[in-house]
Amino acid sequence: MRKAKLHIAQTDCTLANFDDNLERHCRMTEEAIRNGADAIAFPELSLSGYNVQDAAQDIAMHIHDPKLQPLRELSRHICIICGGIELSEEYGVYNSAFMFEEGEAQSIHRKIYLPTYGMFEELRYFSAGQEIRTVDSKRLGRIGVAICEDFWHVSVPYLLAHQGAQLMLVLMSSPLRMSPGNGAPAIVEQWQTIASTYSFLFSSFVGCVNRVGNEDSFTYWGNSSLSGPDGTLMASAPLFEEKVLECMLDFNAVKRTRLHSSHFLDEDLRLISAELNTIITGKPRR
């Protein structure tokens, strides 16, 4: 069975400064290559910063833009997954996840659920993605990638897992939200619960890649993590500090977990599909 060494890059970025962010990506990727990593993953919108607002249209670039060539070149030695603002062939602007591997580039996920409540206003600046698809990586196998708010909707990891993803990565730019009480902030505990629950229910690895640093009025809390297919926390990065989390993925663990408990494999997709159709159409099953 496969093993892979993954670097989770809990890092900061500079708002609307592509050159500075690209340099950081290249430097950290070169370090990962020297360390023998098979893949490195960066947070949501790591190439642009999060709170770009109206500048999103100016920053957006096609996945084959020549400016991304340094990452394509580095990907001959490692798989790189990062966040950027994508300009589609139809000129839609998306909060996307990019993957660079074997000298090639592809957009592998467009954020579907764009929060527009409280401190968030993504729907004003981005179009919503319309697909939930796994991607095959030569270094990681079949993986699923989601972006932040997507993981608050169980349908996203559910569909990724049932398409064969044994590793799900969620790229995040999750800001701190103050709440009363002692201990870890509520948002930190909520994300820990989400990650461990999905990894257990879908018998898959779940990697959370959150950023750190300050941007306008936002403070990003980090605490990136990897959860194993039995739901246990395997590794975590500190709060509020830049850190590269080095993780070894042994996909034998997925095999062992699913042989021990087949709850994921026993899911009846035809039943779920039929019941969803009933809910959508309002027509009862016969």
User: Can you tell me the mean pLDDT for 175-180?
Assistant: 76
Residues 125-143: tens digit of each pLDDT = 999 999 999 999 999 999 9
**What is the DSSP code (8-state) at residue 190?**
H
**Residue 180 clears pLDDT 80, i.e. is over it:** no
**Residue 204 clears pLDDT 60, i.e. is over it:** yes
For the chain, list the domains and their CATH numbers.
3-281 (3.60.110.10)
**Residue 192 clears pLDDT 70, i.e. is over it:** yes
Say what the pLDDT of residue 188 is: 96
User: Can you tell me the mean pLDDT for 10-18?
Assistant: 98
Position 247: which residue type?
A: C
Query: Could you give the strand order of the β-sheet that contains 205-210, starting from the edge strand earlier in sequence?
Result: 135-137, 141-147, 167-172, 205-210, 225-227, 233-236
**Residue 182 clears pLDDT 70, i.e. is over it:** no
Q: For 113, phi and psi rounded to 5 degrees?
A: -100, 100
**How many Cβ atoms are within 10 Å of 53's Cβ, its own excluded?**
13
CA 54, CA 48: separation in Å to the nearest integer?
13
Contacts of 1 (CB under 8 A, 6+ apart): 250, 251, 252, 255
Say what the pLDDT of residue 8 is: 99
Residues 67-125: tens digit of each pLDDT = 999 999 999 999 999 999 999 999 999 999 999 999 999 999 999 999 999 999 999 99
User: Can you tell me the mean pLDDT for 196-225?
Assistant: 97
Say what the pLDDT of residue 100 is: 98
**Residue 215 clears pLDDT 90, i.e. is over it:** yes
**Residue 179 clears pLDDT 90, i.e. is over it:** no
Better-predicted residue by pLDDT, 255 or 181: 255
Average pLDDT over the chain, rounded to an integer:
96
Say what the pLDDT of residue 1 is: 52
CA 83, CA 116: separation in Å to the nearest integer?
19
- Return the percentage of the chain with pLDDT > 70, whole number: 98
Say what the pLDDT of residue 248 is: 98
Q: Which of 161, 160, 157, 159 is nearest to 254 (CA)?
A: 161
Residues 254-273: tens digit of each pLDDT = 999 999 999 999 999 999 99
Say what the pLDDT of residue 286 is: 73
Question: Do the beta carbons of residue 229 and residue 265 sit within 8 Å?
Answer: no
Say what the pLDDT of residue 273 is: 96
